[in-house]
Structure 1
């Protein structure tokens, strides 16, 4: 199992039990800072539950999750709310506010969590939307007036608004056509390692998209029945000798 001297995220012996079902089973692994790490696995493997633990939405039945050196269990609700400024999250279907325009969606976290004046917020929003390929004529469109790919872009711009140190992606290419899928994957790489804006982030992706995973990831973990059964740099992961991993890669 991979270990790192100064990981962004460290999951230590995490078990999560719902009733009689053990969803995470003594899970331990680290995620390297400023890397793109993808977590693969069949449905029901525990991927979404793991992400919720990293976000602090769920607490483990036993074990601990440390993010940027902080044990999430040590934080009270107010401290956890403030700590979550370190995260950005792109949800599976972008999860934009239906009644807000693209501009208003991206402005929301800036208004909620920063002391910026309105003119500064609007300037930042413009830069963010342009950086993900949204043209100015689309700034004041509602989500219902945007294509699926454009909604993903706006969702990404909103997630980047607070300059997060950790970016989480939940099935970022679900329901998208191949061209839009490629665009989203390119954006993930570009925004994760954007030297022009002095931005480096730790990106964690839950995905079923094998092709994209092998193209954009630095590391790949395979979660099976609550346990990480393989975790390797992407080139080594392709050659895994685990039969269940190879079965997944052949799909």
Structure 2
């Protein structure tokens, strides 16, 4: 039954998702043809050239456009969840001959899978176009990667990828949690959802700050001898330990938020459901 529900949920949003994905791919192809036709190397060497400013503006607009399509796709997933669970279609969803957790799991998996795909597509397109731009500008990508110190790879790139992967499902759980809380306010569901988002964001920032304070990160960075010691190589190991603790703290925060919001998405509907 979970498979059938998931298939139905994915079909329900496939058209707008395909359209948004097509926009990302189309804009990336336009960027590809632009970069291949323009003398990027010559323009980059002349930063005072108006063409340089124009190229930077186009690059900014492209990245902003891709980010906007991702944001819209995320909002569409939240709207689908809200309408099918607590909106006009909620009566149909809650009367289906399936367990409550199976219904919620199907919608969560739908959100996670689409969000994973949208995230991967947007990142792949942006990274590919940036790599093409750098190549046209005369930068050897392979050599650049070979010159990256292993310490950067181990302490920054790998943790960053881990955070992105965890964030794929965490933002879905948080979004669905906020909608679930918002539906408790029968006359102001949208307002309740927005307030919930703001509250979650504030709690996340407070938790991150607490982790940084507990690890002594701020006092370490504000040490007047920090830069001198880093240049001399005296504090590099200590610095990366702080950096690792910061990343680990952020990962733990994301996992805790994912667990709490996931649980609340199951518990709150047991107590109270307000349908339109």
Query: TM-score interval w.r.t. the shorter chain?
Result: under 0.3
Higher helix share: 2
The structure having more radius of gyration, on CA atoms, is 2
Higher strand share: 1
